[in-house]
Amino acid sequence: MYLNSIHAPIDCWGVGTNLVTAKGESNLSGVYKMISIQQNGKFIPKMKISNNIDKATLPSQKGVVRIYSNNQMIFDLIFLKEEEEEIKKILNLKKQFTIFHPTQDNTFKEIKTYDSFEFLIHTIFENGNILQPDELKLENIRVNVQNDLKKIDHTYKRLINPHIYKVSITEKLKNLKNTLAKANNII
């Protein structure tokens, strides 16, 4: 009853283990998938191995950029973190580039036109310090989500036969994934 004594803002109390967790699951379950290990100050790419290449993870540290046309999201591109500056340069100069399907090697597309882009992964905490406190404010998160929903074409949001939003990878990430997969005899 310590929380009551300090007038903690609690609306209701609940007792039990099935209040907010799935019955039969650990109360604090989670999944961790290794993407790299650090050896002698250098990151070595790793990936989850599966007999099905579709279930294998993408290796190494990555970034994600969202591409827009006519203020609408058209696809997300996952790239190796080491490619970030090169990707920024290509996008800032509005250069043509090639994207690849994450699991189908022979499926690729040349991107010739786009209006804008947004990098989606940002450092918010570093060494225990909040770098971008405004991004953590619930009201700002709500407004950002509402604005983002307006940028998704209705064909992705419809209930019957919705389009699938495209997520692609760079050639360098595709090649790294395939190299690690071949080394582990999964392709």
Q: Confirm whether 78 is domain-assigned.
A: yes
Verdict on whether the full-model pTM lies above 0.85: no
Q: Confirm whether 82 is domain-assigned.
A: yes
Q: Confirm whether 23 is domain-assigned.
A: no
- What is the per-residue pLDDT for 50? 76
Concatenated DSSP letters of 65-122: EEEEETTEEEEEEEEEGGGHHHHHHHHHTT--EEEE-SS-TT-EEEE---SEEEE---
The number of distinct structural domains making up the chain is 1
Q: Confirm whether 97 is domain-assigned.
A: yes
Per-residue pLDDT of the chain in tens (187 residues, 90 and over written 9): 677 788 776 666 666 655 555 566 655 556 667 889 889 989 899 988 877 777 788 999 999 999 999 999 999 999 999 999 999 999 999 999 999 999 998 999 999 999 999 999 988 888 888 888 787 889 999 999 999 999 999 999 999 999 999 999 999 999 999 999 888 776 6
- What is the per-residue pLDDT for 128? 82
Q: Residue 64's domain spans which residues?
A: 33-123+164-183
- What is the per-residue pLDDT for 1? 61
Residues 6+ apart with CB under 8 A from 110: 96, 97, 98
Q: Confirm whether 157 is domain-assigned.
A: no
Q: Confirm whether 69 is domain-assigned.
A: yes
Q: Confirm whether 8 is domain-assigned.
A: no
Q: Confirm whether 96 is domain-assigned.
A: yes
